[in-house]
Structure 1
Amino acid sequence: MQAIDGFLPAKVAEPLHADEIHVWRLRRPRGAGRAPLLGLLAAYLDIEPAAVRLVAGEHGRPALDPAHGDTLDFNWSHSGEQALLAVARGIAPGIDLELRRTRASALEIAQRFFTADEAAWLATLDEGARHTAFLELWTGREAVLKALGRGLAFGLDRLAIRSDATGLGLLWLDGEDPATWQLQRLDVGADAFAALAWRGAPRRIRRFALADAT
């Protein structure tokens, strides 16, 4: 097992402070389903994994059953055999993970579903830079929509994302004040892209890695 920030996974149940978000990177082997997720949530709740109960929100976002209390919230994302889990108190985090892969239709997708300005910007980039930028805009969108409690059906063109050397930023979100939102790029190595979003004040992000969650 590997630890980041000086804590071992065995100490996952150490206090999750109100001004923090814990982000876990873990393996999700084929066929594992929600087992890795339930195992980590159980550690935070100090119960057995089999006792963790999840419910689906109005638009399908999974959440802890109210029987577990209303202070702890989470979101997770998986791509291939990797997964990210964000856990926080008092906010609804949204997280997205995408493994690096070439999308021949990246510009076409952007022209159809992103804002006109974003699509025009992507069109100015060379192929390699375009695929990187596209995945950054995509993970940023997914993270925001998941924090909002909405899926892709909300409309990918109803928000605008900034991606540059300083990181990610939410420029516009239909019906919301983007200034009240946080959107951050997560460094998950050269083989993947990830973003974390939430509505509320800035928080300290503490990152952990669990080599084998099964």
Structure 2
Amino acid sequence: MSGAVASVEVWRFPLDLPAPEVERLAGVLDARERKRRAGLRDPVHRRRFAVSHARTRLVLGERLGVPPALVRLRFGPNGKPFPDGGTGAGRWHFSLSHSGDLAVLALCEGREVGVDVEEVRPERDAVRFAARWFPPDESAWVAGGEEPDRVHRCLRLWTRKEACVKAAGGRLVRGLGLPVGTGPQPRVVHGPPGFPGTWTVADLPAGPAHVGAVALCDARPFRVRDRTAAGSADPGRG
């Protein structure tokens, strides 16, 4: 099995569901998640939080063989969640990201995983942001694009960096200087001094309104399995 190529399962979830569906899904949240949801003032943010975290529990429950409401999570120093308890729970790693009305969940057995998705908003000043935070070759690549493409280029680099940081369980501010490159993916990324690590990162198709990327720790290759069409277990049905 040591020579097997790792598989990353990826789900994309729409978050713009009607209120009754949102409340039905929210029934699988645990006490910590319910408290966090209640603390969100914006009803849109409450909806998105409930759907994305409930869908994550549905997938994890399937993998761990427990009801989604009983999935237990533990958290790393910077808040990265891990499945806790149950036979084989420690083998599974997952990462959740949402932006606008889209959530993306990545799940991998045996390797730390990070995923990021960002909504494309043309009003962003991509050139100024890249010049401030990215290495010179990357910021030049962003600035060299045509005006409609600059935001996409900036988000392409941003999501690659954040996917690596989330795989490492770190903070994004430490990863903005990661040299993720401007060429095709997948790519092996080596962390600079102060943020050691090696990640393999690949871009994810996320539709016309979003940009996404997924990363696994270490330099071994992996393949992405799109599970969106397959769906997942749904509470209260069947």
Are the counterparts in 2 of residues 18 and 89 from structure 1 also a CA contact under 8 Å?
no
Structure 1: distance between partners of 2:76 and 2:90: 14
Verify: 1:187 aligned to 2:205, yes or no: yes
Greater share of residues in strand: 1
Please name the residue that 1:11 is paired with: none
TM alignment of 1:20-169, pairs within 5 A: 20-29=7-16, 30=44, 31=47, 32-33=49-50, 34-66=53-85, 69-157=89-177, 159-164=178-183, 166-167=184-185, 169=187
Are the counterparts in 1 of residues 120 and 209 from structure 2 also a CA contact under 8 Å?
yes
Q: Which has the higher contact order (CA 8 A, sep 6+)?
A: 1
Aligned residue for 1:156, secondary structure, equals: coil
Residue 171 of structure 1: CA displacement? 4.7
Unaligned runs of 5+ in 1: 1-16
Unaligned runs of 5+ in 2: 17-43
Residue 189 of structure 1: CA displacement? 2.0
- Cα distance change on mapping 1:60 and 1:183 into 2, 3 Å: same
Over aligned residues, Cα RMSD in angstroms? Answer: 2.3
- Cα distance change on mapping 1:103 and 1:155 into 2, 3 Å: farther
Aligned residue for 2:202, secondary structure, equals: strand
- Cα distance change on mapping 1:111 and 1:170 into 2, 3 Å: farther
Are the counterparts in 1 of residues 93 and 110 from structure 2 also a CA contact under 8 Å?
yes
Paired AA for residue 13 in structure 2: L
Residue 196 of structure 1: CA displacement? 0.6
Paired AA for residue 35 in structure 1: A
Structure 2: distance between partners of 1:105 and 1:192: 17
Please name the residue that 1:198 is paired with: 216
Residue 141 of structure 1: CA displacement? 0.8
- Which protein is bigger by CA-based radius of gyration? 2
- Cα distance change on mapping 1:163 and 1:117 into 2, 3 Å: closer
Please name the residue that 1:4 is paired with: none
Are the counterparts in 1 of residues 204 and 211 from structure 2 also a CA contact under 8 Å?
yes
1:116-175 superposed Cα distances (whole Å, 9 cap, x missing partner): 221122222221121111010011011010011112132412x111133x3353454214
Are the counterparts in 2 of residues 182 and 199 from structure 1 also a CA contact under 8 Å?
yes
TM-score (norm: length of structure 1): 0.81
Question: How many residues are matched?
Answer: 194
1:77-104 superposed Cα distances (whole Å, 9 cap, x missing partner): 1112211111111111000111222143
TM-score (norm: length of structure 2): 0.73
Q: Which runs of 4+ in 1 moved over 6 A?
A: 211-214
